Amino acid sequence: MSNPSTDAQVPGDGLPRCPWAGDDPLYRHYHDQEWGRPVVSDTRLFEKICLEGFQSGLSWITILRKRENFRAAFHGFDIPRVAAMTEADVERLLGDAGIIRHRGKIVATIHNAGKALELQREFGSLAAYFWRFETRPEHRPDDLSWPALRLLAQTDASRALSKDLRKRGFKFVGPTTCYAFMQAMGLVNDHTDDCFCRAVVETERDQFKRPLPASA
């Protein structure tokens, strides 16, 4: 939910949406079909935490428009394949105009893939690890209006996730980045109280089977 428009825009279908969705068809589709829906796929979770790192300092729509290029560049975010990438791959990607050509973020993505493999070995899956940080209902604000949510850049849960990831050696995973990740992957439902997706996402979250660590 980065760098959203401050003006509410209701697309032609008349459905009320979170104001940040704007009127860009790609952004609206992302808002309607992806953002906030609970995710259990390790590939998608890894992709998102990486892309949130690339997004730092930019708007999410910039990354969204380049997402297919990122997927091609990083082997569909297949974790073992990304972890096996080399300095030669880094140099190659620095010449790829289809992605964000930032050496530190490219290197961090490859590095974080190795750390993600460690999490999979410890917890059985990335999903089992990340869903441990789901925000408890009693820790959610009562006010879910746009003015309130647009000021909520991080939470206790995102700070805890960021701290733990950094302790484990992950890079580009600050608390604001982690909160954007949690919002997008359904660990919290931050659709505004008047958005048509809010009830849909809440139903999906109610029916969602939380992954458990392998040792549980």
Closest CA relative to residue 4, chosen from 59, 56, 43: 59
Distance between CA atoms of residues 181 and 62, nearest Å: 16
For residue 24, how many other CB atoms are within 10 A of its CB?
A: 16
Query: Active-site residue among 52, 129, 131, 134?
Result: 52
Is 20 tagged catalytic?
Answer: no
Per DSSP, 197 falls in state H
Tokens 């849909």 belong to which residue?
Answer: 200
Distance between CA atoms of residues 45 and 56, nearest Å: 17
Is 129 tagged catalytic?
Answer: no
Distance between CA atoms of residues 45 and 30, nearest Å: 15
Is 47 tagged catalytic?
Answer: no
Distance between CA atoms of residues 124 and 109, nearest Å: 21
Contact 77, 116 (CB under 8 A): no
Percentages helix, strand, coil for the chain (3-state, rounded to 5) are: 60, 0, 40
Query: Active-site residue among 35, 60, 129, 146?
Result: 60
Task: Please list the active-site residues.
Answer: 30, 52, 60
